[in-house]
Amino acid sequence: PFPFAEHASTGRARCQACRKGIEKGELRVAIARPNDGMPGDGAMYLHVGCALEHTKDAALLAALEKHSRGLTPQDVDALRTALTPPG
């Protein structure tokens, strides 16, 4: 289920927020692509640092912690750092 975090398996994806490439092996956030009437569930990818601003979802971190598999403690720390609003 979306959203989830993972390491990019290739370097072909582009961040849907900033449009820059996501490097192979880089931690990224996958969110559901709007289906626009098309069948199937696709993913849109975001840099971890772009994810909160793009989704505007205060519960994003909790959802990522629930749905992501195979992340190291360092990956989870990186998510927490990037997705915790300042203040």
pLDDT tens for each residue of 13-71: 999 999 999 999 999 999 998 876 666 678 999 999 999 999 999 999 999 999 999 99
Report d(CA 53, CA 78) in Å as an integer. Answer: 16
DSSP 18-85: T--B--TT-EEEEEEPP-TT-SS--EEEEEHHHHHHHH--TTHHHHHHHH--S--HHHHHHHHHHHS-
pLDDT tens for each residue of 33-43: 887 666 667 89
Judge whether 50 and 43 are in contact, CB under 8 Å.
no
Task: Please choose, from the candidates 4, 56, 58, the residue with its C-alpha nearest in 3D space to the C-alpha of residue 28.
Answer: 4
SS3 state of residue 15: coil
pTM confidence score: 0.90
